[in-house]
């Protein structure tokens, strides 16, 4: 210790409870948070990269879901000027002023680049539904550590 004293050692089960709670809360918050991307496209602006998604881990076939919501500029009289083309790797989806959603079943060895091209204001939400629930492993480990730590503390 900095002051020359000594400290009592932390029991292993207390440390397991803290690590487990951190894993559990952090993973649940990351899984629940699905970021959306606001895209404002002008005529002739070209292709805009939105994100890159890793799919196909361990040979799985994952579903990439896209939800498109038009903005204020795509309502009323300006609605006919709005159009959007979203590409997931080599696959292309067309959206108009109404928006909509689309799903692409993908298995790939590398990241897929998601791009948009068109005209108008849109909010695009991209989520990946994994075939292998690898995101659940930290939650299971964290839950195990919390339960074991609290059980051991009460012994």
In the predicted model, residues of the chain with pLDDT beneath 70 are: 1-2, 34-38, 40, 42-44, 56, 59, 76-80, 108-109
Helix axes 12-32, 136-153, angle to 10 degrees: 150
For position 18, what pLDDT does the model report?
93
Looking at domain 12-153, its CATH class is mainly beta
Domains of the chain, residue spans: 12-153
User: Which strand (E) or helix (H) includes residue 102?
Assistant: strand 100-106
Q: What is the pLDDT of residues 53-98, one digit of tens each?
A: 777 677 677 778 888 888 777 776 656 677 888 888 788 888 877 7
pLDDT at 77: 66
Q: Please tell me the predicted confidence (pLDDT) of residue 79.
A: 60
Distances (CA, A) of 11 to 14, 20, 143: 5, 14, 18
Phi then psi for residue 77, to 5 deg, are -70, -25
Instruction: Look at residue 113 in the predicted model and tell me its pLDDT.
Output: 83
């Amino acid at each position: 210790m900095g002051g020359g004293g000594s400290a009592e050692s932390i029991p292993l089960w207390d440390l397991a409870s803290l690590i487990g709670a951190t894993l559990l809360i952090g993973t649940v918050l990351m899984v629940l948070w699905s970021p959306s991307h606001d895209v404002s496209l002008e005529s002739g602006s070209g292709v805009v990269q939105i994100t890159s998604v890793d799919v196909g881990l361990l040979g799985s076939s994952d579903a990439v879901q896209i939800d498109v919501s038009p903005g204020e500029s795509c309502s009323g009289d300006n609605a006919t000027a709005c159009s959007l083309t979203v590409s997931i790797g080599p696959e292309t989806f067309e959206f108009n002023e109404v928006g909509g959603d689309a799903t692409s079943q993908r298995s790939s060895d590398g990241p897929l680049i998601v791009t948009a091209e068109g005209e108008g204001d849109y909010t695009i939400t991209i989520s990946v539904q994994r075939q292998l629930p690898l995101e659940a492993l930290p939650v299971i480990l964290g839950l195990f550590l919390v339960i074991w730590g609290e059980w051991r503390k009460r012994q």
